[in-house]
Amino acid sequence: MTKVAVLVGSLRKESYTKKIAAALMQLFPEDVETEFVEIGDLPLYNQDYDDQNEVPEAYRTFREKMKQMDAVLFATPEYNRSVPSVLKNAIDVGSRPYGESVYDGKPAAVVSVSPGAISGFGANHHLRQSLVFLNMPTLQQPEAYIGNVINLLGENGEVTNESTLEFFQLIVNSFVELIHKYQ
């Protein structure tokens, strides 16, 4: 079974980004398991925790969970044209201690979500910059900029528009193909 971690850069209960991630998760084939991994309980990264062996329990849990994953789907809103700090923090926490990154070599996909028309482009590409350093082979095409998101979500937060779902399926299929290349 292939395991994909889904990291969402919003802690908001009614997060549009989380709803889009949930819609994508339903489109994976049966032999790929997807799971939201909690990042909201991670204390802000402080290298002293690792250097002085006072690692917070939430770091241990997160790192252990992420080590079991084969790939990572990043779904992020855009904050001030960049990556929300909660997601950057999860990247930093998982990347350390040095030499023990939970991300190293794992295929990734980036989906940015926004109520606006620019579709989180800034967040999407700032995130990609970190993924280069983390040595994560990242899905290049199709690029996934989900703008005007409010128009895509129905009353219950589901995506029903046929052409949107077709596009989502293309994203998922392309990502699964990438993952299999690295297995």
Interacting residues toward ligand FNR by CB under 6 A:
10, 12, 15-17, 77-81, 113-116, 118, 120
Smallest distance, Å, CB 146 to ligand FNR?
Answer: 10
Nearest distance, CB of residue 115 and ligand FNR, angstroms: 5
Please, is 147 exposed, middle or buried when counting C-beta atoms within 10 Å of its C-beta (0-12, 13-18, 19+)? middle
Distance CA 103, CA 108 (A): 9
Backbone angles phi, psi at 101, to 5 degrees: -60, 135
Minimum Å gap between C-beta 160 and ligand FNR is 19
CB 63 to ligand FNR: min, Å:
25
Instruction: For residue 45, give Cα distances in angstroms to 65, 141, 161, 177.
Output: 18, 32, 40, 33
The amino acid that residue 165 corresponds to is: L
Q: Which is nearer to ligand FNR, 77 or 107 (CB)?
A: 77
Closer residue to ligand FNR in complex, CB, 137/147: 147
Query: Which residue lies nearer to ligand FNR by CB, 67 or 81?
Result: 81
